[in-house]
Structure 1
């Protein structure tokens, strides 16, 4: 059990405050609000608009909607400063994948009317996308989750759903997952159109976790990978290196209780570094790698880090009308697609209140239903010649779960979940049993020191000493993007003017 919190509290607080204040500013500042409305109406100058207003704010975007007299609607969407660390890159990648899916896939995706950079946006709000509004009743997540969830609580699968209904809902999700897996490229990265207007992997794979560890893990943006990859092993090694860089940069000092002894803290840090060095070892070792990388040279399918039931919209008949929020989508190792979805229970394993073992027990029940739904989708697609036998996922997903490959993929993609996963689900499979009692795995790392590569012990001690020295340094080394920095400054200026106006009004 770690004695440090996974997120940096100060970075979390700043991000959360921006996340709350910025949409409120856009809704209440008359000049900005009107500028958005005029901008959107001019885009559809041939239509008569009936209403305009704020729609909602999600995890990464805030949205405004305009309704037209012909019963159609349009949305303009801006990335949230403080939540999105690479806004221009995020928008570019998302537009590309949506346009690609509209051209090449049966997956229903909103049409894009226009998108642009900050300099083109109303009131310089930031990069934007204007898309058609998809009429819907609710999301697939609403249909799957347990009723009665309070605001701020994460959803969880309703245990009382009838099996036939659950399989039917899973079946629609399985169809989307299956469709994505059939779209592939020869490199790992984000899509764009080349000089010949052909789709190609042109940019690095900007992932959910890359954004998160800059936002909440205080990793400098310059430390992130910048390459595309022509094989899976090189990408997995880049992810393993990123885990190490993240731990080195993570500012834990403000998250540690004052009475934690230095030697206890030092061992906690060592345990984390040992886990990350060993994870990189099983990526680098060709023999160990053969146990879980089966398609090193691709082809590499489309993968969306943020795909989940909440982003799948359905109508009154509970039929999918659109899949939205395609940020952090890129081509990825085949093994990602061969791993069953984490979201079958709606809640992540590291967030499960009853612990990882209980999550696994409940997940396995849901997985059997999902795999049966997937198998039926595969049968239908094969009969209709939309799928060949070699593209089936159900058997591969079953193997991924049973072999433990699922956990390698999950740990590779989720930096903040790594410590909850590695020692319990990965270590003993590759490096053999260890002598510890019950769940007391805190000292297992000592039994693995002999496995470290030359120089890693010295490097680990160097990092430990640095982090111990930094323990009482409370300066936040946050590296937000220019977009976020600019909006922090603008919001301060706006707030200052508002306060000055109130003072003048009170004195008159």
Structure 2
């Protein structure tokens, strides 16, 4: 389907308005950061624009760590308050329950708690490092259109894949009793899954397709219920997007494909896994959000948006980022055969480093069989 250009133009306008406001808000941003630093003298050291967020590096002449303040971009992040709240809780949870290096959350707040008018925010510690994707991609590709370097040294690739495998293995050890996003319990203050799963697909259906009527916010106690809700959302997409079809033949084809998916999808869910345990799945966990040092060791993972407890099959699938580029783009440009010819050797290599992680005591054999099945 084509994007809904009317919706996109509207959201692009919101982004431009926000960027103009941000360009006039340096003093307010520093004032907000000074409040949490308990001192004056904040300096804006650099700016960083991502797919869904805009960030600024903050510095003080006090020998302490630099910080990063990050705002979800209006027109890009469709659920900014929900996204910021969930991500701040999840980053703290990851830091408390794993050895995965993540920024330390200093503070987070809603739009009402931000006097700059720039919306919800997270302040976190700055982490030094180079994006892993820069080491994997071809020299002529960019952050937005990354392509795996076909001539990359195999030992380097194995080392970087191995670092990513360690992260996924550690995440696999975390179990959840329902599908959804983390929030803090109002009584105990401890994180638990009580919010709907906020996904990248939901964000993009609103942003690029103009949908407004998504599923009611809820968690799911079974994989079957969740998969059914995803399938219904695809039908809703076909019905609601104003330019979802081109002609009657196109309509019949898209309608039929959705019903075929509904008829077959649940056959891929083993009954013994239907009620959990559920695993943490991160839509946007990829080399572009992972920082490494000169020894190819991970120094930090900087982006945890669109992460939620999901069916184990989601977390146990072959990662989409092995070729850096999104699979559907490769298939569109080069075809299915070319995609698999490129993917399969990398998939075998990745499974090899996952098994290596198992043999060195990262997880038990039972866990690894669950991850790669």
Matches of 2:10 and 2:271, distance apart in 1: 39
Q: Which residue number in structure 2 is paired with residue 56 of structure 1? A: 48
The CA deviation string for residues 183-203 of structure 1, in whole angstroms up to 9 with x for no partner, is 111101111222223332111
The CA deviation string for residues 235-289 of structure 1, in whole angstroms up to 9 with x for no partner, is 1001011110111111217x95xxxxxxxx11101111111122122245xxx35
8 Å contact from structure 2 (residues 18, 118) kept in 1: no
Q: Which residue number in structure 1 is paired with residue 251 of structure 2? A: 269
SS in 2 for 1:192: strand
Q: 1:235 and 2:211 equivalent?
A: no
State the Cα distance separating 1:293 from its structure 2 match: 5.9
Matches of 2:323 and 2:120, distance apart in 1: 34
Q: Which residue number in structure 1 is paired with residue 262 of structure 2? A: 280
Higher helix proportion = 1
Q: Closer, same or farther in 2 for the Cα pair 1:139/1:125, shift >3 Å?
A: same
The correspondence of residues 218-257 of structure 1 with structure 2, limited to 5 A, is 218-220=210-212, 222-252=213-243
The CA deviation string for residues 201-252 of structure 1, in whole angstroms up to 9 with x for no partner, is 11111111011101111111x4324111111111100101111011111121
8 Å contact from structure 1 (residues 210, 224) kept in 2: no
Match of 2:341 among 350, 361, 372: 361
Gaps of 5+ in 2: none
State the Cα distance separating 1:42 from its structure 2 match: 2.5
Q: Which residue number in structure 2 is paired with residue 115 of structure 1? A: 108
Matches of 2:44 and 2:103, distance apart in 1: 19
Matches of 1:58 and 1:390, distance apart in 2: 38
Q: Which residue number in structure 2 is paired with residue 341 of structure 1? A: 319
Matches of 1:95 and 1:366, distance apart in 2: 33
The CA deviation string for residues 373-420 of structure 1, in whole angstroms up to 9 with x for no partner, is 111111112xxxx42211005x853x5xxxxxxxxxxxxxxxxxxxxx
Q: 1:11 and 2:7 equivalent?
A: yes
Q: Which residue number in structure 1 is paired with residue 189 of structure 2? A: 197
SS in 2 for 1:184: coil
Matches of 2:45 and 2:251, distance apart in 1: 49
Q: Which residue number in structure 1 is paired with residue 170 of structure 2? A: 179
SS in 2 for 1:126: coil
SS in 2 for 1:230: coil
Q: Closer, same or farther in 2 for the Cα pair 1:367/1:293, shift >3 Å?
A: farther
Q: Which residue number in structure 1 is paired with residue 358 of structure 2? A: 378
State the Cα distance separating 1:45 from its structure 2 match: 2.4
The alignment's TM-score, normalised by the length of structure 2, stands at 0.93
Q: Closer, same or farther in 2 for the Cα pair 1:119/1:251, shift >3 Å?
A: same
The alignment's TM-score, normalised by the length of structure 1, stands at 0.69
The structure that has the greater radius of gyration is: 1
Runs of 4+ in 1 over 6 A off after TM superposition: none
Range that drifts further, 67-76 or 326-335: 67-76
Match of 2:367 among 371, 391, 397: 391
The CA deviation string for residues 37-80 of structure 1, in whole angstroms up to 9 with x for no partner, is 1211232124754x324511101111112112215201111110
The CA deviation string for residues 272-317 of structure 1, in whole angstroms up to 9 with x for no partner, is 1111122122245xxx355x56511110011111111100011232
Q: Closer, same or farther in 2 for the Cα pair 1:16/1:389, shift >3 Å?
A: same
SS in 2 for 1:375: helix
Q: 1:147 and 2:119 equivalent?
A: no
SS in 1 for 2:160: helix
Matches of 1:344 and 1:172, distance apart in 2: 13
Q: Which residue number in structure 1 is paired with residue 305 of structure 2? A: 327
SS in 2 for 1:268: helix
State the Cα distance separating 1:86 from its structure 2 match: 0.8
Q: Which residue number in structure 2 is paired with residue 211 of structure 1? A: 203
Q: Which residue number in structure 1 is paired with residue 147 of structure 2? A: 156
State the Cα distance separating 1:12 from its structure 2 match: 2.7
8 Å contact from structure 2 (residues 215, 229) kept in 1: no
Aligned pair count?
369
8 Å contact from structure 1 (residues 146, 157) kept in 2: yes
SS in 2 for 1:66: strand
